[in-house]
Amino acid sequence: MPDDARVEEFREFIEKIREQHDVPGLSVAVADGDRILYAEGFGLRNVEKNLPATPGTLYGMASVTKSFTALAIMILEEEQKLCSADPVVRHLPEFRLTGGSSAEAVTIHHLMTHTSGMPPTGALRYSMIRSMEGDPSVDEIKRLGRWEQWTDREPIDTYEDLLDFIVDDDQPPLGRSGQQFSYSNDAYSLLGAIVERVSGQPFDSFVRERILEPVGMRSSTMGLDFLEEYSDVTQLYSQSEERGVIAAPKWQHAPAMLGAGFLRSTVTEMVRYGQMYLSSLSPGSGSLVGRQTVTRMTAPYFPCGRSQYYGYGLVVRPGYHGVTLVEHGGSLKGVSSHFGFIPEKDLTASVVANLQGIPASKIWLGAMNLMLGLPVDTQRSREPEYEASQEELERFVGSYASGEGALIDVLIEDGDLYAFIDNSTHLLRPSGPDTAAMMRRGEESMVRFIPGPTGEVEAMYTGLRIIRRISDQPEG
């Protein structure tokens, strides 16, 4: 364990982020091998009752759930009940794509790597809406004029509803399967449906019996039973422009999309989960799954950013100061989460906060930097410098939107390129002929502009998603 001075530096790093983003509470845990070296709560899990956040506080995990979904698929593959190369229609015969596009070429592997060609859709909104009734966060959605996006069709309650929605959605596929990466909650929800069909038991039951219980994650659940059974549960909070951070107690839930992001857990149980992966890589460990399965889950299948790749439910970044970062983040109302491990060093860490939009990944990396002996604020990477001409910048100007709810205006002001997202403006620093660096929530990420056959920009890649251009003029 690093000395006390470095640990105190890490604590100050966290408190600075908490202050910058008005975070009510968060928890962090770090393990080396099978030993938890550091676990601490910061702030309050419940402001109204003055209850502290602890390492045992139960939070939502949001999209960190996706590795559990991929692992469930791999367990079934180890049992030879399916194969990742299987076409999805072998297990979900109803699976079709919009406009009669061929679905036969889409495999389970494509779903796990977000390369199915399915565009970002509004399925998650429609799947969660019943659980949002009466929540104060709805007032903010209405104030922003976005509530119609939640209510313009019937809710999605079942896998059958989801399959029907994918067929009826008016957005065409992004391209042929295997061609390009675009993050898809729908894909991981379909994986949950496949687990259910193949195993013959509800998805959440399979995850509990085959993953959570064997790993020792006794508090973790995909259901809502924890609200009555567990005392150390966080309150959820959301941001209101008029009222600041407010309590928003309704837990978002989506029975048709559990595989996309609805695990609830603690940071200490999450590092135990990470230890399972690391022990599986040790010969003769007798772990939950075999070494080959973990090796395949952490393989860098498809680029999803500069120097980073998507595996199966996990993002893989080789060559980070001589080690590999294997990680995943998540975000929902009242949730900012990040989890991952470093195979070469047997290190695991988990971070989660009770407010959306917090750079949990920055804190997670800070924890790993602490263990690696690096400055706590060392970044994953930095986009290159590039001098773009005015003509190059003008190619990117326009309005971009997705069915998932993204609306991004790209514009030029005083010779610089900016993205206007969620009522905030972000500088886009050119980093190549078709790429730019964007600083958001204290972290730099790559934005890529995607040209079509004629060379005209047709879409932008940001937030791990391909978002189509709908106009060559910003709407705002």
When pLDDT is averaged across residues 125-141 and rounded to a whole number, the result is 94
Instruction: Say yes or no to pLDDT of 276 above 90.
Output: yes
Q: Confidence band (pLDDT; 50, 70, 90) for 101?
A: low
Residues 87 and 114 in one domain: yes
Q: Is residue 385 part of a domain?
A: no
CATH number at 451 reads 2.40.128.50
Q: Indicate the pTM of the whole model.
A: 0.96
Residue 304 has a pLDDT of 96
CA 370 to chain centre: 23
Residue 284 has a pLDDT of 60
What are the pLDDT digits (tens) for 79-98? 999 999 999 999 999 999 98
Instruction: Say yes or no to pLDDT of 12 above 80.
Output: yes
When pLDDT is averaged across residues 372-387 and rounded to a whole number, the result is 94
Q: Is residue 74 part of a domain?
A: yes
Q: Is residue 104 part of a domain?
A: yes
Q: Is 315 helix (H, G, I), strand (E, B) or coil?
A: strand
Residues 289 and 421 in one domain: no
- What angle do the packed helices 159-168 and 185-199 form, to 10 degrees? 140
99: DSSP letter: G
Instruction: Say yes or no to pLDDT of 286 above 70.
Output: no
The total number of structural domains in the chain stands at 2
Q: Is 450 helix (H, G, I), strand (E, B) or coil?
A: strand
Residue 292 has a pLDDT of 95
What are the pLDDT digits (tens) for 392-430? 999 999 999 999 999 999 999 999 999 999 888 999 999
Instruction: Say yes or no to pLDDT of 442 above 90.
Output: no
Residue 102 has a pLDDT of 77
Q: Confidence band (pLDDT; 50, 70, 90) for 225?
A: confident
From the list 474, 468, 396, the residue with the least C-alpha distance to 436 is 396
Residue 439 has a pLDDT of 87
Residue 425 has a pLDDT of 93
Catalytic residue among 27, 63, 67, 219: 63
Average pLDDT, the chain: 94
Q: Confidence band (pLDDT; 50, 70, 90) for 228?
A: confident
Q: Confidence band (pLDDT; 50, 70, 90) for 109?
A: very high
Q: Is residue 34 part of a domain?
A: yes
Helices (H), 37-158: 66-78, 88-91, 108-112, 123-128, 137-143, 148-151
Which H/E stretch holds residue 452?
Answer: none
How many Cα atoms sit within 13 Å of 222 on the Cβ side?
Answer: 27
Residues 256 and 394 in one domain: no
Residues 69 and 193 in one domain: yes
Residues 266 and 395 in one domain: no
Distance CA 384, CA 307 (A): 12
Q: Is residue 20 part of a domain?
A: yes
> Encoding tokens for residue 131?
């659980």
User: Which residue type sits at 290?
Assistant: G
What are the pLDDT digits (tens) for 293-309? 999 999 999 999 999 99
Instruction: Say yes or no to pLDDT of 476 above 70.
Output: no
Task: Indicate the Cα dihedral angle 131, 132, 136, 142, nearest 10°.
Answer: 180
Q: Is 86 helix (H, G, I), strand (E, B) or coil?
A: coil
Instruction: Say yes or no to pLDDT of 283 above 80.
Output: no
Place of tokens 């295997």: 178
What are the pLDDT digits (tens) for 148-163? 889 999 999 999 999 9
When pLDDT is averaged across residues 445-470 and rounded to a whole number, the result is 96
CATH number at 291 reads 3.40.710.10
Residues 333 and 412 in one domain: no
Q: What percent of the chain is predicted at pLDDT more than 90?
A: 87
Residue 227 has a pLDDT of 78
Residues 309 and 213 in one domain: yes
Distance CA 103, CA 97 (A): 6
Q: Confidence band (pLDDT; 50, 70, 90) for 325?
A: very high
Higher pLDDT, 281 or 13: 13
Please enumerate in sequence order all residues whose Cβ is within 8 A of that of 12, keeping only pairs 6 or more positions apart, or say none: none
What are the pLDDT digits (tens) for 20-41? 999 999 999 999 999 999 999 9
**Which of 357, 380, 403 represents a domain boundary (last residue)?**
380
How many Cα atoms sit within 13 Å of 219 on the Cβ side?
Answer: 20
Q: Is residue 476 part of a domain?
A: no
Residue 40 has a pLDDT of 98
User: Which residue type sits at 19?
Assistant: E
Distance CA 459, CA 300 (A): 24
Q: Confidence band (pLDDT; 50, 70, 90) for 471?
A: very high
Place of tokens 């983003």: 21
Domain containing 437: what range? 390-471
- 302-305 and 25-32: which strand pairing? unpaired
**Which of 353, 380, 407 represents a domain boundary (last residue)?**
380
> Encoding tokens for residue 85?
């190369």
CA angle at 66 for the pair 61 and 69, rounded to the nearest 5°: 120
**Beta strand ranges found along 222-262 (DSSP E):** 237-240, 244-247
When pLDDT is averaged across residues 364-374 and rounded to a whole number, the result is 97
Residues 68 and 86 in one domain: yes
Residues 56 and 178 in one domain: yes
Residues 428 and 452 in one domain: yes
Residues 461 and 313 in one domain: no
Q: Confidence band (pLDDT; 50, 70, 90) for 7?
A: very high
Place of tokens 């290159």: 384
Residues 240 and 100 in one domain: yes
**Which of 334, 351, 380 represents a domain boundary (last residue)?**
380
Residue 282 appears among annotated catalytic residues? no
